[in-house]
Amino acid sequence: MLHPGLAKKVTIYLNEDTAASSDFLYNEIFSFLLGRGVSGANLLRPDASFGSHHRVHEAGSGPGIAEHLPVRIEFVESVQKVEELMPDLCDLMSDGMIEAHDTYVYKAVARKGLSA
């Protein structure tokens, strides 16, 4: 559980079809974050994107292209936790980009009685 105070928001930009050692990279990173006790993370699939090659990738835009869609993983965590995670997270990254921004958590609560 996050506590009020300074924190980091980390965003990881990937392609859905980027392979890793045993799965797709986004699955390995998502599992890594879960296993390392990150307070929570979101896996988002935008409708379209383009990268440094300036090729637009869109859902349903043709055969072979749909598999190269963007994936974004976002999480907010304490500064200390992000600093602990970042070396291993950077080692996992074989393609894509990681960015982090300073942020401030004003309130973080979990409803009682719900499983996390």
The answer to whether the pTM exceeds 0.75 is: yes
CATH number at residue 39: 3.30.70.120
Q: Give the whole-angstrom CA distance, residue 78 versus residue 102.
A: 10
The number of CA neighbours under 13 Å toward the Cβ of 88 is: 13
Q: Give the whole-angstrom CA distance, residue 87 versus residue 94.
A: 13
Domain count, the chain: 1
* pLDDT of res. 65: 47
Residue 116 lies in a domain: no
Domain holding 13, by residue range, is 5-105
Residues of the chain below pLDDT 70: 60-67, 113-116
Q: Read off the DSSP letter of residue 4.
A: S
Residue 113 lies in a domain: no
* pLDDT of res. 113: 67
Q: Give the whole-angstrom CA distance, residue 88 versus residue 56.
A: 30
* pLDDT of res. 53: 80
Q: Give the whole-angstrom CA distance, residue 14 versus residue 19.
A: 11
